[in-house]
Amino acid sequence: MAAKAEAPSIAERISQAIMEHRVAPGMKLAEERLALAFRVSRTKIRQALTVLAKEGLVQLHPNRGAYVTSPSVQEAQDLFAARRVVERDIVCNVVARAGKAGLRRLRQHLAKEARARADNDHRTLIKLTGEFHMLLAELGGNSFFIKLMGELCPLTCLIIALYNAPNAPACPDDEHSGIVDAIEAGDAATACARMLAHLDHVERELNLGPRDKGDVDWEAVFG
């Protein structure tokens, strides 16, 4: 039983490293090296990797081992489409349910983001911007949305690591506070519109455009 209790904490630490971009998409997660690093048996590492595979952060290949997931452009676009649907409802729920205590937590969170930004603490900022969206899911109160966001948020971080310019912020500066302002005003329509604009903006920052290798402008290349 003890082994079972330990696996999630290793999984959590690996997941955190992926979300903070310290472990890159596509990187091999070698059992023996992780076992040495965590000072545990390979069995425990294998359990952790299985947990991460269920969350979609790790791909297990029968003979080659475990790799950090490297989502395709199509998967990245599908993920943002899913987030737009889910987070629109989450924000509506937050407007209806958050109350004063919820708003206080949102404001406290924004203050932490602002501090990380002022300190140029990029790693903390990436973590906090993901946590903002998880906090909204929690305050919205729908347990299925919370579970879904628990899966979508880490994958979003991976996608940003893969397709964004290095060191670009995960979420643009003032957009989170704009969403919270609308929530505080009890204005569900504006809060939803700002969330959708925010997700569009994050997606636009990624380099997901068509990579058409078949159509070269030869004149421009050699003319």
Q: Which residues bind Zn ion (CB under 5 A)?
A: 171
Closest CB 133 distance from Zn ion, rounded Å:
6
Which CB, 196 or 208, lies closer to Zn ion?
Answer: 196
Which CB, 125 or 171, lies closer to Zn ion?
171
Find the shortest distance in angstroms from Cβ 195 to Zn ion: 9
Cα separation values, 132 from 125, 162, 189, Å: 10, 21, 20
CB of 47 to Zn ion, least distance (A): 32
Sign, CA dihedral 37-60-202-81, equals negative
- Cβ closer to Zn ion: 153 or 162? 153
25-38 b/e with 16+ CB inside 10 Å = b? Answer: beeebebeebbeeb
For the bound state, the minimum distance from the C-beta of residue 134 to Zn ion, rounded and expressed in Å, comes to 11
**Beta-bridge partner residues of 28:** 67
Strand order through the sheet with 65-68: 28-29, 65-68, 58-61
**Residue keyed to tokens 């990579």:** 211
Q: Which is nearer to Zn ion, 102 or 130 (CB)?
A: 130
- Least distance from Zn ion to the Cβ atom of residue 111, Å: 16
Q: Which residue is nearest to Zn ion (CB)?
A: 171
Minimum Å distance from CB 219 to Zn ion? 42
Between 50 and 177, CB nearer to Zn ion: 177
- Three-class DSSP category at 67: strand
Write phi, then psi, for 61 (nearest 5 degrees).
-110, 130
Cα–Cα nearest to 12, from 48, 59, 42: 48
Which residue lies nearer to Zn ion by CB, 19 or 171? Answer: 171
Distance CA 195, CA 31 (A): 40
